[in-house]
Amino acid sequence: MHGVSIFSRAAFILKSMSIVAYIGLGSNMGDKLATCRRAIEMLGKAGRVIKVSSFYCTEPIGYVSQEDFVNAVVEIETPLSPTALLAHCHVIEDALGRSRLVRWGPRTIDLDILLYGDEIISGAELTIPHPLMAKRAFVLVPLSEIAPEIVHPVLKATVLQLLHGLREDHRVSLCDASVNP
């Protein structure tokens, strides 16, 4: 890399150290689609957004006395560590008005790291792969749209295989872009 500027070398190093991660997002308060789109835009500051799934309208799970969600999955190439990516997701959630009052309750935005390369992390603040992703149609349907052959590093099954084996019967359908679900 003789004759190349220090900035070009830094960009090369960052690019060579980047990893592909998948982030699930959901919203069920306010202008759900606009909030999801803004979150995706803000995720671009953590790396390069490669793919974005369609937006899906989904029934709530757990705490069901709330509005339906809009969900999607983003594929991002990032130089950030898993904990730095999580911190960036929390900054986005805070900027978009997220409050954590009720577990699985209403939220303006929720960002979850589903996969980070093929890494397996089990900690108090962060678990990757996301511990519930293989049981949630609202995660597997949009993830299978953009990465059907990606392998869950713990379960050793593709996203498509996980989706086909899913026993959950919660509604997940494409959102109509002409309305705010």
Residue 53: domain span = 19-174
Task: Please check whether residue 30 lies inside any domain of the structure.
Answer: yes
More confident residue, 17 or 52: 52
Do 75 and 20 meet the contact criterion of CB atoms below 8 Å apart? yes
Extended strands (E) in 17-119: 19-27, 48-52, 56-58, 69-78, 110-116
Query: pLDDT value at position 6?
Result: 47
Catalytic residue selected from 68, 100, 110, 171: 110
Catalytic residue selected from 98, 100, 171, 176: 98
Is 169 marked active-site?
no
Catalytic residue selected from 48, 112, 136, 171: 112
Cα torsion for 77, 83, 88, 94, to the nearest 10°?
Answer: 150
Helix (H) or strand (E) holding 87: helix 82-95
Task: Please check whether residue 13 lies inside any domain of the structure.
Answer: no
Is 98 marked active-site?
yes
pLDDT, tens digit, 9 for 90 and up, residues 95-140: 998 776 656 667 889 999 999 999 999 998 899 999 999 999 999 9
pLDDT at 13 over 60: no
pTM, to two decimals:
0.86
Is 31 marked active-site?
no
Is 110 marked active-site?
yes
- How much of the chain, in percent, has pLDDT values that exceed 70? 84
CATH code of the domain containing 162: 3.30.70.560
Q: Cα separation of 35 and 108, whole Å?
A: 7
Query: pLDDT value at position 180?
Result: 53
Q: State the total domains in the chain.
A: 1
Give the pair of three-digit tokens for residue 99.
């409050």
The one-letter code for the residue type at 145 is: E
Task: Please check whether residue 129 lies inside any domain of the structure.
Answer: yes
Confidence of residue 46 (pLDDT cuts 50, 70, 90): very high
pLDDT, tens digit, 9 for 90 and up, residues 65-98: 778 889 999 999 999 999 999 999 999 998 998 7
Q: Enumerate residues 6+ apart whose C-beta is below 8 A from 80.
A: 46, 47, 88
Catalytic residue selected from 38, 48, 94, 107: 107
